[in-house]
């Protein structure tokens, strides 16, 4: 749950104001957009890890 709040914080001021720049271009897209793509990936991976972990615990009972 803390992670959700952290992810939200990363998407708004002041954090996004640090990373919302044009340079450097990554894969041809400005960093402001690339940063969001990275965050989507991060949210997905962390939640997936949490899900797999919880799922295994459930199965072991």
Interaction site with other proteins (CB under 8 A):
1, 4, 7-8, 11-14, 16-17, 19-23, 25, 27-30, 32-33, 36-37, 39-40, 43-44, 47-48, 50-51, 54-55
- Least Cβ distance, residue 31 to other proteins (angstroms): 9
The answer to whether 30 and 22 are in contact (CB under 8 A) is: yes
CA–CA dist 35, 25 (Å, integer): 11
Which segments of 1-61 does DSSP mark as H helices, in order? 2-11, 15-19, 31-60
- Least Cβ distance, residue 61 to other proteins (angstroms): 15
């Amino acid at each position: 749950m803390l992670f959700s709040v952290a992810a939200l914080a990363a998407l708004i001021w002041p954090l996004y104001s640090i990373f919302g720049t044009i340079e450097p271009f990554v894969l041809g897209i400005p960093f402001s957009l690339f940063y969001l793509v990275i965050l989507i990936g991060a949210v997905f991976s962390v939640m997936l890890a949490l899900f797999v972990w919880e799922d295994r615990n459930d199965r072991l009972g």
